[in-house]
Amino acid sequence: MKFTTYRIFYILVLITVAIITFAYTEIEPPIQNKSTTKKVKNIIFFIGDGMGLSEITAASIVNGNFLNLEQFPVVGLVKTYSASHLITDSAAGATAYSTGHKTNNGSLAMDVNAKPLKTIMEMAEENKMATGIVVTCTVTHATPAAFYGHQPTRSNVNEQLASAFVNSGVDVLVGGGKKYFMERTDKHNLLDTLKKKGFNVIDSISEARNIHEGKLVCLMAPEQPVSLLNGRKSYLPEATAKAIELLKNNKEGFFLMVEGSQIDWGGHENNSDYIIKETIEFDQAIAEALKFAQLDSNTLIVVTADHETGGFSINGGSLENKTVQSAFTTDYHTATMIPVFADGANAQEFAGVYDNTDIFYKFLKVLGWDIPNK
């Protein structure tokens, strides 16, 4: 009898443990490390030039206390100093992202000894990925150029960078700077060359609405596009969506860089309205990427800046009235850390505090590529 009682008790204990284990498993499933389960196929990399936390906050307030990037589950902070200065410029900042190397201010995809560095886009092309660049500045400006061109200085090299693009493997290019492809000192019309290479060459993003495959170059202004405040029709969201539509046709995936270029210019002008309008348009472009990523689980979206501009601060305002009162400490860049947001496949890799160069190595990791020594 005593043996039977112990036996019954033992069985009841086993049943209880089994029930608790099952219930816990249902309620608290084990956390999976996405980085060990699947490689990223597509990367959409957003750079808000000059966009710090105050710029983001101001845009959110004016936009009804919401931005699309607020949906991102992973947030980090990035240190932006260059090899030559505590306060980076866009050339060195973009080079850090595109190559994983700190370089001197003014250098484009070159190291401190003016040696060319292979960029993430060049690596993507070697791995048969499609690539694209969409910006609201000239396509030969510092940030976009650092992904396809190699120059020891960013100054007075627009024609050289236009030639570098023609010889690159980039599949989609949208921005300004048409004169550097046509009105050149060497008299070459590079747009004709691009047409011979199979590119659709157009002057406005609306012309691309009937283009659903192939390569695209869209140059919408002779030099820099005007600001939204001065009459530019918003094109960054539609251009981002079109670039994704064209690039996603590649079975090996794609790497797309999108820059909200003129957030920075609003900071240089100490003009909060300029900053806010450009940041909101940039955020609308992010929304287009989020729509795509919701349908493609192999897509990673990363949003950050190259630096903050203006020492922008919010000293007052009203959520109800969607207004901000602002102040500035400088008309140049600052050394403050800038935020990074990540969503989609392997987004958790981008949490934490780290150097801007680390973003390049994180890209290599999530793509499953070999990581060279830093």
Could you identify the residue written with the tokens 């947030």? 75
Six-digit token string for 36: 């060990």
**Catalytic residue (one of 54, 60, 82, 90):** 90
| Parallel/antiparallel/unpaired status of strands 42-48 and 338-344 | unpaired
Could you give the C-alpha distances from 294 to 71, 229, 291, in angstroms and in order? 12, 32, 5
DSSP string covering 214-258: SEEEEE-SSSSPPPTTTTPPP-HHHHHHHHHHHHTT-TT-EEEEE
Q: CB under 8 Å to 263, separation ≥6 — which residues?
A: 48, 49, 50, 51, 55, 275, 278, 279, 282, 305, 309
User: Greatest CA span in the chain, whole angstroms?
Assistant: 106
> What one-letter code names the amino acid at 172?
V
- Using H for helix, E for strand and C for coil, what is the string for 72-104? CCEEEEEECCCCCCCCCCHHHHHHHHHHCCCCC
DSSP-assigned beta bridge partners for residue 301: 44, 343
Could you identify the residue written with the tokens 């070697």? 126
> What one-letter code names the amino acid at 265?
W
236-267 burial code (b ≥16 CB/10 A, e <16): bbbbbbbbbbbbbeeeebbbbbbbbbbbbbbb
**Spatial separation of the C-alpha atoms in residues 29 and 297, rounded to whole Å:** 20
Q: Which residue, 48, 50, 71, 59, is CA-closest to 314?
A: 59
206 is catalytic: no
Six-digit token string for 62: 């004016």
The answer to whether 360 and 99 are in contact (CB under 8 A) is yes
> Known catalytic residues?
90
